[in-house]
Amino acid sequence: MIKFDERNLSISIIEVMIIPIRCMNCGNVLADKWLFYQQKVKELRGSNEIKPIYMDGQTVPKTAELEVLNKLGLMRYCCRKHMLTHVDLIDKI
């Protein structure tokens, strides 16, 4: 959640991405989990560069995203889809 400082109301909304508030398929609330998801993925990756992962259909590789989604309790594929594929378009406007 965004905390407003009463003395300084100039908050940079641009830094906060606009994620759908609820999953469009099941209605699960997602907006309150987005900032935690972004911070934890960044922490777990560290300075490691992103390497492509090739799926063989038999095993699921352990990634930072998988670990954080499990911690958040997002088990439905529709909710995971929103978190994994969200693109911030506000910078392009």
pLDDT in tens, the chain (93 residues): 444 444 444 444 435 557 778 999 999 999 999 999 999 999 998 877 777 888 888 888 888 999 999 999 999 999 999 999 988 777 777
Q: C-alpha angle 23/90/45, rounded to 5°?
A: 70
Q: State the pLDDT at residue 13.
A: 43
Domains of the chain: 13-50+61-92 (1.10.10.60)
* Residues 18-39: b if buried by 16+ CB within 10 A, e if exposed: ebeeebeeeebebeebbeebbe
What's 14's DSSP letter?
G
Residue 61 backbone dihedrals phi, psi, to 5 degrees: -70, 145
Distance CA 77, CA 66 (A): 12
- pTM of the full structure: 0.71
